[in-house]
Amino acid sequence: MTYQDWIGRSETARDVLDEGTAARLLGALCSRELDPAAGALLLGHWLCFRPAMMRGDTGADGHPAKGGFLPPVPLPRRMWAGSRVTWERAIPLGAALERRSTIEAVSAKSGRSGELVFVTVRHEVADARGPILTEHQDIVYREAVGSGAAAQAAPSEPASAMPWSRPFQPDPVLLFRYSALTGNAHRIHYDLAYAQGEEGYPALVVHGPLTATLLLDHLVSHAGRPRSFAFRGIGPLFDTDAMTLEAGPPGSDGTARMQARRGDGVVRMTATAHFD
């Protein structure tokens, strides 16, 4: 059996984005207004469909053990590299949601850090009224790296400052709360000894989707709700980094750009949003 045999596989999950969970996310991000159309809650499906794992179903890194729906890639490290989301409407609070996930592509490549395997999964979320959003999620598997190597940043894309700028300081408590809200048990986000000793990071790693949520929420506060949103991680951000969230107004083509920088100005995530 090859990786290509996994293409087309699908699974269905059901859940509800309740008001309590939504309020806890907004509280963690220092927002008290419970608005389903808030930028952070546009990505509220990331709080849902958490796997109900038995204790023995996790790997050494805290993630679900490999195999099952996703192909059993033998490379030990995996990360959420980016996503592209298109909305039909905001996620209604309290409604019964269904997510159908389908593996669209699997490819193997060689990079600076060794062998890589990329998996693209299409998620379609709907309720009784019909489609709500479609997301294409990119997952990358890679080899383990030596101590300290994981912190080496890939070259930052050249980028100028953007007009809407906001400082943001992550901390271990926020990372723990976001892990709990999303059911993400990956130890790099809350277990400092594991993050440093096993994966070679200097500090706790900020979740990629958390940074993406902050960027989208920042844009929406200035420009309103977009029709689509995409983000791509360039390199890790840590709980010790003084982040800067930046965004700019939509251009003539309706596209707005965002980026997250660490304290020394290096860009660690880029994102775009399109307005009708």
pLDDT tens-digit readout, 111-168: 676 889 999 999 999 999 999 999 999 999 988 865 455 555 555 555 678 999 999 9
pLDDT tens-digit readout, 4-27: 888 999 999 999 999 999 999 999
Q: Would you give the distance in Å from CA 54 to the centre of its chain? A: 24
- DSSP-derived letter for residue 64 is B
Query: Coil, strand, or helix at residue 127?
Result: strand
The reported pLDDT for the residue numbered 39 is: 82
Query: Coil, strand, or helix at residue 105?
Result: strand
User: Which amino acid appears at position 9 of this protein?
Assistant: R
CA dihedral sign of residues 19, 24, 26, 32: positive
pLDDT tens-digit readout, 158-214: 567 899 999 999 999 999 999 999 999 999 999 999 999 999 999 999 999 999 999
Say what the pTM is: 0.92
> Mind listing the domains of the chain with CATH numbers?
3-274 (3.10.129.10)
Burial, 151: exposed, middle or buried (Cβ in 10 Å; 0-12, 13-18, 19+)?
Answer: middle
The reported pLDDT for the residue numbered 240 is: 96
Residue with tokens 């991000």: 29
Consecutive H or E run containing 166? strand 164-168
Consecutive H or E run containing 176? helix 172-182
Q: How confident is the model at residue 217 (pLDDT cuts 50, 70, 90)?
A: very high
